Amino acid sequence: MHVNGKAYLALWVDENNNSVKIINQLKIPFEFDICEITSCLELVNAIKDMRLRGAPLIGAAGAYAIWLACIEANKNLNPAEFLVNAYNIIVSARPTAVNLKYATTIIYNKVIAESDSSKWQQIALKESNIFYGNEIENFKKIGAYGLEIIEKISLQKKGEAVNILTHCNAGWLACGDYGTATAPIYFAHEKGIKIHVWVDETRPRFQGAKLTAWEMHNENIPFTVIADNTGGYLMQENMVDMVIVGADRVAANGDVANKVGTYLKALAARDNNVPFYVALPSSTIDFELKQGVHNISIEKRNEDEIVKVDGLTNNMNVEIVDIMPSNYSSANYAFDITPARLVTGIITEKGIVEADTEKILKLFSEK
Ligand code: MRU
């Protein structure tokens, strides 16, 4: 998608094929900074400190981290041991998004199937490019399926703007391109359908206010940032036609782990008969997990994210301030789980499916 009219991916391989470049998401919206990453550990650190984030992008980063590890492995006495250590470090960088383990494992298995370690680097790069390219194609398919829903609502509203509420950032920054929750929004906008997006600010890290809003602004899509607790009121007042969110992990029964606060939006949506959709590629589905509630590991992050915020001062400097005394007790649960019963439909690259074990397994029978 675009930044000041120029097309970018959120992550790409440098033209000389020797590094990974990422848009530094910690700096947006006040600065546009690109980081160049040349080692597996550096890329793992970028995942941990959230210079890059979002479940599908973390997955792609895991794949390329294996590639960088393959380059380093051949400088080691025991390349296989080096690589398995790198694999374990990569997959434990963040616990909730299943895409990380999924993508990293695919590339790792392709690589170790080759006994000649001098070929690993080439295999890992080729396979990572294929994986990332396929994921981007999947986001487009999600966009096309989601568009059908928006089109129907637009017809019912006789062309009046369709109000879509989204939480966190499941946009192109979180995915590489198009996004999951946002792909249908971009497609609808491109088709000339009138839309307006309610962007939850998404405490504590403000992925909505800082990232989703920036993406919408760059694509000229009408949006309004709201405090996280506003959605329920807007739904009661018929100011939301549908909710679309992304996901970090979906269990086989359709329970959805997503950014903390998603569950409360789903409850409000159900109470007000607002359709609640979750958009995701199948790399986000954990087919081994029968049920999500109580079973998905929820990342608990540093309390500083609750206590401190960063923002632009009057002197145009980005500074961090405390919003409460730093010795107050606080807790930072990064995700929550929305039970399948509250989900109207799951928008995937293979179509829209009910959040139900049988239907999900039927749609993805090859898995
Ligand atoms: O902690 P983050 O920012 O990596 O959280 C992940 C997310 O961006 C969301 O939960 C998102 O809605 C799903 S990722 C497309």
Atom of ligand 1 lying closest to residue 257 CA:
10
Which tokens in the block code for residue 307?
């206590």
Atom of ligand 1 lying closest to residue 299 CA:
1
Per-residue pLDDT, averaged over 80-106, amounts to: 97
Which tokens in the block code for residue 261?
């606060």
25 lines ligand 1 (CB under 6 A): no
pLDDT tens-digit series, residues 215-257: 999 999 999 999 999 999 999 999 999 999 999 999 999 999 9
In this structure, are residues 56 and 89 in contact, taking their beta carbons and an 8 Å threshold? no
169 lines ligand 1 (CB under 6 A): yes
Which tokens in the block code for residue 363?
């749609």
Report the interhelical angle of 98-112 vs 120-156 (nearest 10°). Answer: 150
Share of the chain above pLDDT 90, in %: 98
Which regions of the chain carry the CATH code 3.40.50.10470?
A: 143-363
pLDDT tens-digit series, residues 133-169: 999 999 999 999 999 999 999 999 998 999 999 999 9
Residue with tokens 């809003």: 213
- Among 139, 169, 214, which residue has the most ligand 1 atoms within 8 Å of its CB, making it the best to mutate? 169
Identity at 35, one-letter amino acid code: C
User: Alpha-carbon distance 218 to 1, whole Å?
Assistant: 9
User: Which of these, 6, 345, 2, lies nearest to 171 by C-alpha position?
Assistant: 2
Q: Is 155 exposed, middle or buried (0-12, 13-18, 19+ CB in 10 A)?
A: exposed
79 lines ligand 1 (CB under 6 A): no
Identity at 249, one-letter amino acid code: R
Which regions of the chain carry the CATH code 1.20.120.420?
A: 2-133
pLDDT tens-digit series, residues 274-320: 999 999 999 999 999 999 999 999 999 999 999 999 999 999 999 99
pLDDT of residue 1: 87
Residue with tokens 């074990």: 357
337 lines ligand 1 (CB under 6 A): no
180 lines ligand 1 (CB under 6 A): yes
- The three-state secondary structure class of 293 is coil
Q: What is the 3-state secondary structure (H, E, C) of 92-140?
A: CCCCCCHHHHHHHHHHHHHHHCCCCHHHHHHHHHHHHHHHHHHHHHHHH
Atom of ligand 1 lying closest to residue 175 CA:
15
Q: Domain 143-363: state its class.
A: alpha beta
- The three-state secondary structure class of 294 is coil
CATH 1.10.357.10 fits 2-133, yes or no: no
Examine the residue annotation and report whether 248 is marked as an active-site residue of this protein: yes
In this structure, are residues 166 and 208 in contact, taking their beta carbons and an 8 Å threshold? yes
Identity at 145, one-letter amino acid code: Y
Is 106's pLDDT higher than 90? yes
- Among 199, 259, 336, 343, which residue has the most ligand 1 atoms within 8 Å of its CB, making it the best to mutate? 259
Identity at 340, one-letter amino acid code: A
In this structure, are residues 107 and 66 in contact, taking their beta carbons and an 8 Å threshold? yes
- Residue 56 C-alpha to ligand 1 middle, in angstroms? 9
Which tokens in the block code for residue 276?
């609640």
- The predicted model scores a pTM of 0.96
pLDDT tens-digit series, residues 251-277: 999 999 999 999 999 999 999 999 999
Which tokens in the block code for residue 8?
């970018």
Name the phi and psi angles at 298, rounded to 5: -95, 120
- Residue 146 C-alpha to ligand 1 middle, in angstroms? 19
Per-residue pLDDT, averaged over 89-104, amounts to: 96
User: Which of these, 89, 88, 91, 76, lies nearest to 121 by C-alpha position?
Assistant: 76
170 lines ligand 1 (CB under 6 A): yes
Q: What is the CA radius of gyration of the chain?
A: 20
283 lines ligand 1 (CB under 6 A): no
User: Alpha-carbon distance 364 to 284, whole Å?
Assistant: 12
What residue owns the CA closest to ligand 1's atom 8? 54
- Residue 31 C-alpha to ligand 1 middle, in angstroms? 21
Report the interhelical angle of 40-48 vs 79-91 (nearest 10°). Answer: 10
The count of C-alpha atoms lying within 13 angstroms of the C-alpha of 7, restricted to the half-sphere facing its C-beta, is 2
